[in-house]
Amino acid sequence: MDSRPTMLGPKGLIKKHEFVRTIIQCLYSLDYKKSAVSLELESGISCKSMDFGLLESHILNGNWDACIDTLYGLNELTDETRASALFLVCRQRLLECLIHGDDSSALSVLRKQVSALQVGREKVHDLAFGLFSLKEMGLGKVDGEVIIELRKKLLSEMEKLLPPPLTLPERRLEHLVEMAVSGQIDSCMYHNLVDPVSLYEDHRCGRDQIPTETTQILTDHKNEVWFVQFSNNGEYLASSSSDCTAIIWKVLEDGKLTLKHTLRSHHNPVSFVSWSPDDTMLLTCGNAEVLKLWDVESGTCKHTFGSHGFTVSSCAWFPDSKRLVCGSSDAEKGIYMWDREGNEIKAWKGTRMPKVLDLAVTPDGENLISIFFDKEIRILNVTTNAERVISEKHSITSLSVSGDSKFLVVNLSSQEIHMWDVDGKWVKPLKYTGHKQERYVIRSCFGGLNSTFIASGSENSQVYIWNRRRPNPIEVLSGHKMTVNCVSWNRKRPQMLASASDDQTIRIWGPSSSKKTA
């Protein structure tokens, strides 16, 4: 007689017995109990293994010696897992002895059975202390229905503890399907869909899901445009220029942008802007300029930070929209943390403090990331003060952090972009190449749904887009006539991208299905 399992699927990779069993479990978890029972009867396959069914019967009936014998007879268990399972059973047995007022049996279980398990003396002491404390608080008043519920809870713990095939991990079929969908998304070069992926067909996005064509050209700046950044809610775009101004643009419902405010308080080129997380305030600064705070609704300057001559290289907000931080390009000036009224909260400065080229705060507020000495990335955990240093071989020109706070990218003068894990899980970065960057400060950004893409400008007047899982560009966008200094992806409109150039224009990019307008 052939004892080999029946296999399913075009490639014969799925065991029929396991497949049907996971379907039955799924039906139970979705509360289709009648359908689950019917499938068990028709297929002859039970959701629960015979061994676990026997264990369940012993637990529900309080047959503790038989339960312990069953656990010792399960060869699939490691010594550690068996000890943990036996501890759960003995804990329940001890609890029920105390409930029934049988203190002598409780002590016997504690001394002979629990103490013999390899679970650690401290765990045994904690168990004894906890249960006998409960007894003093009136444990004997517990009725039979509560005992049954406690036994069911024990079964639930057993299901999570015991390995397959004795038990199935919770919602196993849903997990497998989600893995398959996730795998298709990860392999989809252009995936940028807001709607959930359908199970009815294999998933694949086209290039029409990402911005590839110019939909609008903004020409209000009178000199090179150095920086652009969409607001967190996607309703505004801020830009800064060598013409000493910054502009706030409003994103209309149809995707067009219109000028809202021109900010004219700076006396030198403005090279950096930063939106408060609540999008009510905007910070502006420049390499030869001070830091200014603007009210987005009125367009008025609310505060100027630092004394005259204090120049700021970059700035960032903490998630509460009440604290901000800036780094100075002057050696020894360091990094300052202020509130919105200009009160200094904290400072990292001194004679040994190097100039800060760029900085960012992760959106979760946990880490302050700074670029020092041209080639050094420092990641400071604001809560624990733990610090991690990453060294690059070539000069770093800019820094950007992903929306999920997990990754950062740095642009290098070596014409590479490196992506690093903020938590330090990677030994080597992922490297992206193809764009040209030798003399200018070029800024990249994360974008698209779940920060799937990395976009960057280039000295060759083009915009490059990478899928962050691939080292080579998936799109190269042409249109600008001079160096593209900065790009920004709209977080709420994952198919909208903005780019700023030395040609004094800002280009808004959309998917190829969009109607072109100049």
Q: What is the pLDDT of residues 148-164, one digit of tens each?
A: 999 999 999 999 999 99
The rounded mean pLDDT for the chain is 90
Q: How far apart are the first and last CA of the chain?
A: 76
Give pLDDT, residue 123: 66
Task: Report angle CA 246, 247, 251 to the nearest 5 degrees.
Answer: 150
Give pLDDT, residue 129: 65
CB contact set of 136 (below 8 Å; sequence gap of 6+): none
Taking only the tens place, the pLDDT of each residue in 437-452 is 887 889 999 999 889 9
The whole-angstrom separation of Cα 163 and Cα 71 is 12
Task: Report angle CA 235, 504, 415 to the nearest 5 degrees.
Answer: 90
Q: Determine which helix (DSSP H) or strand (DSSP E) holds 149, and give its type and residue range.
A: helix 144-161
The whole-angstrom separation of Cα 229 and Cα 497 is 10
Q: What is the DSSP secondary structure assignment for residue 514, as one 8-state letter?
A: S
Domains of the chain: 48-167 (no CATH), 207-510 (2.130.10.10)
Whole-angstrom Cα Rg for the chain:
31
Residue 411 burial (10 A CB sphere; 0-12, 13-18, 19+): buried
DSSP string, 347-404: EE-STTPPPEEEEEE-TTS-EEEEEETTTEEEEEETTT--EEEEE-SS-EEEEEE-TT
Give pLDDT, residue 427: 79
The whole-angstrom separation of Cα 347 and Cα 198 is 51
Give pLDDT, residue 349: 80
Give pLDDT, residue 141: 57
The whole-angstrom separation of Cα 87 and Cα 66 is 15
Low-confidence ranges of the chain (pLDDT < 70): 1-3, 118-143, 307-309, 331, 351, 513-518
Quote the tokens at residue 331. 């050696």
Give pLDDT, residue 517: 40
Helix (H, G, I), strand (E, B) or coil at 447: strand
Give pLDDT, residue 516: 44
Give pLDDT, residue 51: 94
Give pLDDT, residue 518: 36
